[in-house]
Structures are given as C-alpha cells and as structure tokens.
C-alpha cells in the first residue's frame, strides 16, 4: 500500500491539540493508524505543543474533546474482546465491534450507493459514516459546508485533485468542489466524516440530498 494523499498541516495540528471535532478525529485517527508519514507529523506537532506549554505559566489546559473521542473508541461497546483485522484501521474495527464490511447492515440510499451510520457522542457535531459505492459510478458534483475527511478503505476513486486509493485521505474544506468517479473493478468503501452536509450543485443533487444525507 502506497499512500499518496495525507492530512494537511492544519488538520494534523488540530488533531494533536485535541481541537478537532469527534467525527473528524475518528477519520484522522484511522488514517494515522495506516500512515507512517502522518504518525510522524502528529508526534512532531505534539512535541511542539509540549514545548509551547513549557513556556507558559501554569494554566489548566483542556483536551477533553480528544479524550472523549478516544474514550468513545474504547467504551462499553468494545468491552468484549475484538479481533482486529489487518485490512481495517484498528480505531474503526473497535467501533464496528469486530464486524467486517460484509457483516454490516448497510442502508441503500440510491442505486449503487449504501451507507452505514457510525455513532458519535451525544451532542457531537457533524456526522461519521461508511459509504459503499458501486464500481464505475460517478457521484454528483458537490461542495462542502465545512471540513470533510474521506478515507478510502477499499477500491479507489478519482476527482480533479487526483486518484485516491486504499489509505489515501481527501482532506477538503468549504472552498473545494468536486465530482468523484469510482474506478471500475471493485466497490469503493470510504470512511466519511463531515462538519456539515454537502452542498450539491445540480437540481437533482439538491432533490436527493434529504434522502442521501451525504
């Protein structure tokens, strides 16, 4: 597995500081578990943060959000032993309680598009879900209402940014509009985390938005 697309610097810093929202933090953690380059970047960001704190007067510093995110991955739902599959990020595997993709109760949202909702803490903003998109499909062109992280777990897609295959993460913001095209040959499964719903550019997209919820 060769990872080409990584988390951007701002996301790395927010993750290391514990200020990234819960849904985005889970997606970032999954990519980091697969990517040596981003693990190194996080360690450097944490070291930099520690040096900055050493220069400040003693102050209560809260990283409750990050602690809550990590705790959500190890809560009572994961109390029973979980066998982590080598082809799935460990943070996601714990959320799925050891289930594989073929064992999930996917909800079909449109021809060729199925969704599996992942739980977030009460009051958490945004959404976290798995998307299963049939090979060869072209997604509707859309923009974003905030930051969006899409981690490829199986298959691949292309858009104007480039090609995204297993382990690659699309780290996008409200300034980016794109139209992903799923490569032929294999269903594409992605972990999809957003701060706010997507903005579809076409009338069809806007009509389908309430049903797709992506």
Distance CA 177, CA 193 (A): 16
Whether the CB-CB separation of 136 and 113 falls below 8 Å is answered with no
Model pTM? 0.78
- Cα separation values, 156 from 45, 60, 136, 137, Å: 30, 44, 10, 11
Res 70 pLDDT > 90: no
DSSP 76: G
Q: Tokens at residue 201, please? A: 């550019």
pLDDT at residue 38 in the model: 97
| Count of Cβ atoms closer than 10 Å to residue 203 Cβ | 8
CB-count burial class (<10 Å; 0-12, 13-18, 19+) for 25: buried
Percentage above 90 pLDDT, the chain:
53
Locate the domains of the chain by residue range. Answer: 9-95, 101-212
Return the CATH number of the domain spanning residue range 9-95.
Answer: 1.10.10
Between 13-27, 57-71, 117-131, the lowest mean confidence (pLDDT) is in: 57-71
Q: What is the pLDDT of residue 176?
A: 67
Top CATH class, 101-212: mainly beta
């Amino acid at each position: 597995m060769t990872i080409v697309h990584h988390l951007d610097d701002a996301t790395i810093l927010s993750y290391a500081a514990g200020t990234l929202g819960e849904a985005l933090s889970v997606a970032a953690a999954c990519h980091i578990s697969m990517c040596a380059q981003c693990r190194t970047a996080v360690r450097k960001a944490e070291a930099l943060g520690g040096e900055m704190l050493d220069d400040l007067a003693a102050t209560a510093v809260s990283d409750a959000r990050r602690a809550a995110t990590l705790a959500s991955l190890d809560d009572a739902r994961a109390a029973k032993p979980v066998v982590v599959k080598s082809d799935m990020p460990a943070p996601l595997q714990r959320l799925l309680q050891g289930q594989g993709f073929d064992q999930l109760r996917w909800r079909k949202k449109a021809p060729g598009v199925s969704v599996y909702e992942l739980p977030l803490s009460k009051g958490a903003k945004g959404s976290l879900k798995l998307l299963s998109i049939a090979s060869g499909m072209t997604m509707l062109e859309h923009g974003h209402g905030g930051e969006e992280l899409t981690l490829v777990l199986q298959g691949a897609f292309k858009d104007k940014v480039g090609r995204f295959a297993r382990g690659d993460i699309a780290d996008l913001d409200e300034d980016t509009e794109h139209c992903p095209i799923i490569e032929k040959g294999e269903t594409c499964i992605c972990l999809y985390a957003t701060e706010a719903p997507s903005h579809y550019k076409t009338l069809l997209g806007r009509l389908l938005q309430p049903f797709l919820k992506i």
